[in-house]
Amino acid sequence: MLEGRVAVITGGTRGIGLETVRLFKEQKAEVILFGSKADSVEKAVNELASVGMEVKGYYPNLNNMEEIDKTIKEIISEYGHIDILVNNAGISANRKIEDTTSEDFSKIMDLNVNAIFNMTKAVVPYMKEQGSGVILNTSSMVSIYGQPSGCGYPASKFAVNGLTKSFARELASSNIRVNAVAPGVTRTDMIANLPEEQLAPIVKTIPLGRIGEPRDIANAFLFLASDMASYITGVVLSVDGAARS
């Protein structure tokens, strides 16, 4: 489905991001993953290499436009084009408002919102020049319903939805599609480490009767990245088993 495409995936060293890297590689894309640190990038690249998947890895500061631009230019120099950008890097929060500092809030917004703006700004000129592109953002079910604590996280994901819809309208005339995926509870590291007695009540709130797997979310990214979604832009796709608050 993605043969001949070049994809850049931020937050690609674990969880949903790493599974999306695997799936895109299975579908014959050239994939470049971004991570936050050299060691985590190296670990992910080596893990993929052990199963015959060759990917490149970088670790630019996603809040530093100079580092981002330099890295994107390197990728363009090597591959000639970037067809897909998956803005997946992000952090969560669950502290009550009285325990959250302004620095905590700013840190969440920097990675979950500003980094998406920065990465999108960096790749759009190249996508416009080639006459096509796909930009995908990771949102969350809490962007729709909020959450009882950790206000910075749903606030950032509300902003992701706003960026997604606005970029979609702005860039449509350049044949650049922009969509988001809003996962529900998914078996990432944090969830996988929960004891069964904590996990069971969560599962009961999900009509499909299970939590999501990283592959469920990666499948949504694949669909939206592919030509099967060629007339879809400005959408925030919920992938949450019908979990509604």
Residue 75 lies in a domain: yes
Edge-to-edge order in the sheet of strand 236-239: 56-58, 30-34, 6-9, 84-87, 133-138, 176-183, 236-239
Q: How does pLDDT run across 75-100, given as a tens digit for each residue?
A: 999 999 999 999 999 998 888 999 99
- What mean pLDDT do residues 98-118 have? 96
Q: How does pLDDT run across 30-56, given as a tens digit for each residue?
A: 999 999 999 999 999 999 999 999 999
- pLDDT of 93 reads 86
In the chain, the percentage of residues whose pLDDT exceeds 70 is 98
Catalytic amino acids? 153
Residue 190 has pLDDT above 80, yes or no: no
Note whether 12 and 84 are within 8 A (CB): no
Closest CA to 93 of 109, 81, 77: 109
Cα dist. 125→76, 112, 132, 174 in Å?
A: 11, 22, 11, 10
Q: Please, which pLDDT band fits residue 104 given cuts at 50, 70 and 90?
A: very high
Residue 173 lies in a domain: yes
Domain that holds residue 187: 6-239
- pLDDT of 202 reads 84
Distance separating alpha carbons of residues 64 and 225, to the nearest angstrom: 26
Number of other CB atoms surrounding residue 91 within 10 Å: 14
- Domains in the chain, number: 1
pTM metric for this prediction: 0.95
Residue 199 lies in a domain: yes
Note whether 160 and 138 are within 8 A (CB): yes
Residue 244 lies in a domain: no
Distance separating alpha carbons of residues 67 and 59, to the nearest angstrom: 9
Residue 1 lies in a domain: no
Note whether 17 and 218 are within 8 A (CB): no
Residue 112 lies in a domain: yes
- pLDDT of 245 reads 52
Residue 32 lies in a domain: yes
Handedness of CA 109, 112, 113, 116 (dihedral sign): positive
- Kindly tell me the burial class for residue 27, based on how many C-beta atoms sit within 10 Å of its own C-beta (0-12, 13-18, 19 or more): middle
Note whether 152 and 195 are within 8 A (CB): no
Handedness of CA 7, 216, 88, 163 (dihedral sign): positive
Residue 57 lies in a domain: yes
Token pair in block for residue 113 = 């919102």
CATH code of the domain covering residue 57 = 3.40.50.720
Q: Please, which pLDDT band fits residue 244 given cuts at 50, 70 and 90?
A: low
Token pair in block for residue 90 = 């992000």
